[in-house]
Amino acid sequence: ELKVEQNPLFLSMQEGKNYTIYCNYSTTSDRLYWYRQDPGKSLESLFVLLSNGAVKQEGRLMASLDTKARLSTLHITAAVHDLSATYFCAVRQYNNNDMRFGAGTRLTVKP
């Protein structure tokens, strides 16, 4: 069974600092997704990573994928308060459209 682990689960940062969220998964996958969830809201798609070595960047967020290590990272550069949210990674199992989510990383950016 596909398992997805994120760490850390909780992250409190100062504005302006950098940090990385990690997403490990247990079986071969060909698609990895990052989503953002604001309190009381549903999930919004941030990135789709389609191949080994893929890197996507949007503003202060950058996501990368290493399929051999079964690892994705979401790097935050010079954090700002607006980035406070819960970030989920999700993995699509290889040759399958089944998608499983990590437990989420609750990010709080403090002034």
Partner 1 sequence: GAGVSQSPSNKVTEKGKDVELRCDPISGHTALYWYRQRLGQGLEFLIYFQGNSAPDKSGLPSDRFSAERTGGSVSTLTIQRTQQEDSAVYLCASNPDRGLSGANVLTFGAGSRLTVL
Residues of this chain that bind partner 1 (CB under 8 A): 30-31, 33, 35, 41-45, 48, 50, 88, 90, 92, 95, 97-104
Closer to partner 1 at the Cβ: 15 or 44?
44
User: Minimal distance in Å, beta carbon 31 to partner 1?
Assistant: 7
Do 76 and 19 form a contact (C-beta atoms < 8 A)?
A: yes
User: Minimal distance in Å, beta carbon 98 to partner 1?
Assistant: 6
User: Minimal distance in Å, beta carbon 58 to partner 1?
Assistant: 14
Do 88 and 71 form a contact (C-beta atoms < 8 A)?
A: no
Closer to partner 1 at the Cβ: 14 or 57?
57
Write down the H helix ranges in the chain: none
Q: Which helix (H) or strand (E) holds 48?
A: strand 43-49
Do 48 and 33 form a contact (C-beta atoms < 8 A)?
A: yes
Closer to partner 1 at the Cβ: 42 or 68?
42
Tokens 């893929």 belong to which residue? 54
